[in-house]
A and B are shown apart, each in its own frame.
Chain A
Amino acid sequence: MHDRDTQLGGDVLVILRHPPHGSSWLREGLDAALVAAAFGQAVSLLFMGDGVMALAGGQGQGPLGQKGTAPTLDMLAMYDIEALYLESGALSALGLNRDALQLPAQPLEAADIANLIAAHRLVLTF
């Protein structure tokens, strides 16, 4: 088990609040996370609200061939981004099951989210 799972800390926390495809927020947020990791920072991701849709399985390209973000999720491990969290209420609000997610992420209650934010030097919301 990664010790960050219990300690929640790191250098950069990227909070992803938008679902894939409807805007570039998710994609540009993930880009920021990848760059921070490439620069050697310990990066955590928090999927919040509709942002948990980023983790849903079975995503595809947009109708004009827009890339979407599912392939980027597969790259996270390569960049050593392994501290993945999600807002637990957001999954149930959308009727999503954790088993159906493309990537496992640790569910957090509100108090843990506040701790997670406090435990990172830099917090970026997208």
Chain B
Amino acid sequence: MILHILNRPPSSSLTYREALASMGPEDRLLLIEDGVLGALPSQVRHFESVTGRLFALREDLAARGLDGHCDAAVQVVDVDGFVQLTEEADKTVSWS
């Protein structure tokens, strides 16, 4: 399993398409920084292909007033959980 990390929102950047195209069937995707906008109910459809493997960073949501506003399909992790995701992955790939 590879952890992909995305810091761009799907509303203004197509980087998410490159991240999704590069993901294997077990890989996970973590949204950080402006990428957490993708966790909103209005945006999460862009990540349908990785349902169940989609994560968002709590601290970046909270700083933007978005904690608690995520779609239910998104698993929210704090930075400790971010580290844990990297422990569980064979390697990480960052998309910006």
- Whether A and B touch (Cβ < 8 Å) is answered with yes
Q: How far is the CA of A17 from the CA of B16 in the complex (A)?
A: 12
Task: Contact check, A118 vs B24: say whether CB atoms are below 8 A apart.
Answer: yes
Asked if B27 lies at the interface with its beta carbon under 8 angstroms from chain A, I say yes
Which of B57-65, B73-81, B88-96 lies at the interface with chain A? Answer: B88-96
Task: Contact check, A48 vs B24: say whether CB atoms are below 8 A apart.
Answer: no
Asked if B2 lies at the interface with its beta carbon under 8 angstroms from chain A, I say yes
CB distance from A120 to the nearest CB of B (A): 9
Q: How far is the CA of A118 from the CA of B89 in the complex (A)?
A: 11
Asked if A101 lies at the interface with its beta carbon under 8 angstroms from chain B, I say no
CB distance from B18 to the nearest CB of A (A): 5
Residue of A nearest to B92 (CB): A123
Task: Contact check, A117 vs B93: say whether CB atoms are below 8 A apart.
Answer: yes
Evaluate whether A113 and B22 lie within 8 angstroms (CB atoms) in the complex, with A118-B2, A123-B93, A125-B93 already known. Answer: yes
Q: Which residues of A contact B91 (CB under 8 A)?
A: 121-123
Task: Contact check, B18 vs A114: say whether CB atoms are below 8 A apart.
Answer: no
Task: Contact check, B93 vs A114: say whether CB atoms are below 8 A apart.
Answer: no
Evaluate whether A114 and B23 lie within 8 angstroms (CB atoms) in the complex, with A17-B18, A49-B14, A49-B18 already known. Answer: yes
* Chain A interface residues (CB < 8 Å from chain B): 15, 17, 48-49, 87, 89, 110, 113-115, 117-118, 121-123, 125
* Chain B interface residues (CB < 8 Å from chain A): 2, 14-15, 18, 21-24, 27, 90-91, 93-96
